[in-house]
């Protein structure tokens, strides 16, 4: 059991921000040795159930990608976890470059791919440009980790 989770604080409008994010990634990486992950992300086109979220940090340790989660919950309602099927398929560290992990202590733009329509609590995430990081923060985790994560947030 671990307490790995990904905190989601805001949602990017794919139509508005994806080209901006890709442009920034291209600009930051100009003149660098580029790997397959870079080209995969730059050439990636979102599917219907793909979402871009902002995550200010993750817990415990680095999280390798892709990473699958089966639970989502609102930090203000720790008694109501919701079962889901979601994968984090890309992490853009500090908004600059695709990385094969969600790196502990860093900000990320994450690409989430849901297996079905996201639950209602996901729809309540504020839009990136309107975000006030307060009541609508949600976490992705696995149910096997939920109790330890719940305890951590209950005591903070």
Beta strands in 29-142 (DSSP E): 50-55, 63-64, 67-74, 82-93, 97-99, 101-102, 108-114, 138-141
pLDDT of the residue at 126:
86
Quote the number of domains for the chain. 1
* Residues 138 and 76 sit within 8 Å (Cβ to Cβ): no
Instruction: Quickly state the pLDDT bin for 135 (edges 50, 70, 90).
Output: low
* Residue 145 within a domain: yes
- What share of the chain in percent tops pLDDT 90? 57
Residue 132 CA to its chain's centroid (Å): 17
* Residue 34 within a domain: yes
* Residue 123 within a domain: yes
Q: Which residues contact 19 (CB under 8 A, 6 or more apart)?
A: none
pLDDT higher than 80, residue 59 = no
Choice among 14-28, 83-97, 121-135, 139-153 with the minimum mean pLDDT: 121-135
Nearest CA-CA partner of 125 in 6, 15, 12, 18: 12
* Residue 65 within a domain: yes
* Residue 148 within a domain: yes
- Mean pLDDT (the chain, rounded): 89
If DSSP codes are grouped into helix, strand and coil, which group holds residue 34? coil
* Residue 1 within a domain: no
* Residues 65 and 91 sit within 8 Å (Cβ to Cβ): yes
pLDDT of the residue at 132:
65
pLDDT of the residue at 129:
83
Instruction: Quickly state the pLDDT bin for 58 (edges 50, 70, 90).
Output: low
pLDDT digits (tens, 9 = 90+) for 66-111: 999 999 999 888 888 999 999 999 999 877 888 888 888 888 999 9
Domain extent, residue 126, equals 6-154
User: How far is it, in rounded angstroms, from Cα 107 to Cα 142?
Assistant: 21
């Amino acid at each position: 059991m671990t307490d790995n989770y990904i905190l989601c604080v805001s949602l990017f409008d794919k139509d508005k921000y994806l080209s901006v994010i890709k442009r920034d990634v291209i600009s930051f990486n100009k003149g660098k040795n580029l790997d397959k992950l870079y080209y995969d992300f730059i050439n990636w086109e979102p599917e219907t159930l793909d979402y871009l979220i902002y995550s200010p940090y993750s817990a415990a340790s680095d999280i390798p990608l892709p990473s699958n989660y089966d639970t989502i919950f609102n930090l203000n309602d720790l008694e109501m976890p919701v079962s889901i099927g979601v994968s984090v398929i890309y992490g853009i560290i500090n908004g600059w470059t695709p990385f094969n992990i969600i790196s502990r202590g860093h900000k990320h733009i994450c690409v989430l791919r849901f297996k079905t329509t996201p639950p209602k609590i996901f729809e309540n995430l504020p839009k990136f440009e309107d975000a006030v990081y307060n009541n609508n923060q949600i976490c992705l985790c696995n149910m096997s980790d939920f109790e330890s994560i719940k305890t951590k947030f209950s005591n903070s």
